[in-house]
Amino acid sequence: MAAATASSLVSYGSGSDSDNECEADTGAEKEQPVDPDATAHLKPLQPGKTLALSILNPAPEVAVKESVETGTHLDPLLKEVSFNPTFETMFAPEFGPSNPFTTQQLAAPRNMLSGYAEPAHVNDFMFEQQRRTFATFGYALDPSVDTHQVSSVSYIGAVDEAEKNKGLTVFESYQKKTDKRKKVQGGDAGEIDNFLGPWAKYVDEKNIAKPTEEEKKELDEITAKRQKRGRKEEEAPAEEKTILHVKDMYDYQGRSYLHIPQDVGINLRSTDAPDKCYLPKKQIHVWSGHTKGVSAIRLFPRSGHLLLSCSMDCKIKLWEVYGERRCIRTFIVYGHCCLPSFEL
């Protein structure tokens, strides 16, 4: 079945009616040679060469004009390498555009903002010892020198002070050498008048205890300030006074403001209580006049037509209870302010 199909395809490819008709019409055109590769897919496979024809080279050699780089490039952030690279590969420049304005310090590799820090182990005690020694004496061991490889000891900071103290640290005890004060020669013990003995004065001891001119000025200023602070100014006793807030103390009939009114609708002179007498359930009036808190309030006895209020501003005010409820008088006192107790 397959052989019959292939033979029919070959016969179809070798000649066709349409081609014969075209050749007959033109007549003058020459027959062009047919490329065998163009009709290779129409021909049957030859026995014995099937495998050789099906094998193709997927990557043939291509002639390139430019030279091709075959080296291996490493990632600069790579921590481990699984093969043994060459020196040129390890220290090859990084790919990418370079900044021409970058300095050598900025172009150097770094793993932190200030530079490149490698992990290291430092003994906590030794670090604290050198830090405190540097803060106290001004010198410390040079951390850049490996003491295991170098026998000599080098210091940073106050090197002269380190050589003077022989590398003393703050954890080592030491004694400060102080110069002893010299005394005046006491003389011979046989001479009673000229012998000083242990009571001799020091050479640099000053016998004059009198202050200098500058010290006198400073002492005078200090004593003047102390006297000024300790002095209490005597306050003059304030005069007590009163202020009348109404035009006149007496009315047209010659009655003072202490007179019990008779035009309020209530008999204030009677000793008997009225039939209806009770506390108000809402606010009727507010007397305002003091600048500080009110400490006491008193009504006039029996009549209750006047009101006395005592405040912490050292003022006593007299108010009307009925009528216009004016402030009649203000009494200004100094010191302790209190209201008298009235007897009913």
| DSSP states of 40-70 | GGGSPPPTT-HHHHH---SS-----SSPPP-
Kindly report, residue by residue over 297-336, the tens digit of the pLDDT: 998 888 888 999 999 888 899 999 888 888 999 998 876 5
50 pLDDT tier (thresholds 50, 70, 90): low
Q: How many other CB atoms are found less than 10 A from the CB of residue 130?
A: 19
- Low-confidence winner among 133-137, 202-206, 235-239, 253-257 (lowest mean pLDDT): 235-239
Higher-confidence residue of 267 and 5: namely 267
Delimit the domains of the chain by residue range: 124-165, 238-265+285-344
| Average pLDDT of span 217-229 | 87
Higher-confidence residue of 57 and 247: namely 247
Helix, strand, coil percentages (3-state) for the chain, rounded to 5, are 25, 10, 65
pLDDT at site 309:
92
> CA-CA distance, 65 to 295, in Å (whole number)?
113
| Average pLDDT of span 197-207 | 80
Contacts of residue 76, defined as CB under 8 A and 6 or more positions apart, other chains included, come to: 94, 109
> CA-CA distance, 297 to 311, in Å (whole number)?
9
pLDDT surpasses 90 at 48: no
Q: Please report how many Cα atoms fall inside a 13 Å half-sphere around the Cα of residue 78, on the Cβ side.
A: 12
pLDDT at site 35:
75
Kindly report, residue by residue over 242-263, the tens digit of the pLDDT: 888 988 888 888 888 888 888 8
**Mean of per-residue pLDDT scores for the chain:** 78
pLDDT surpasses 70 at 21: no
Q: How many other CB atoms are found less than 10 A from the CB of residue 288?
A: 5
Place of tokens 């060469």: 49
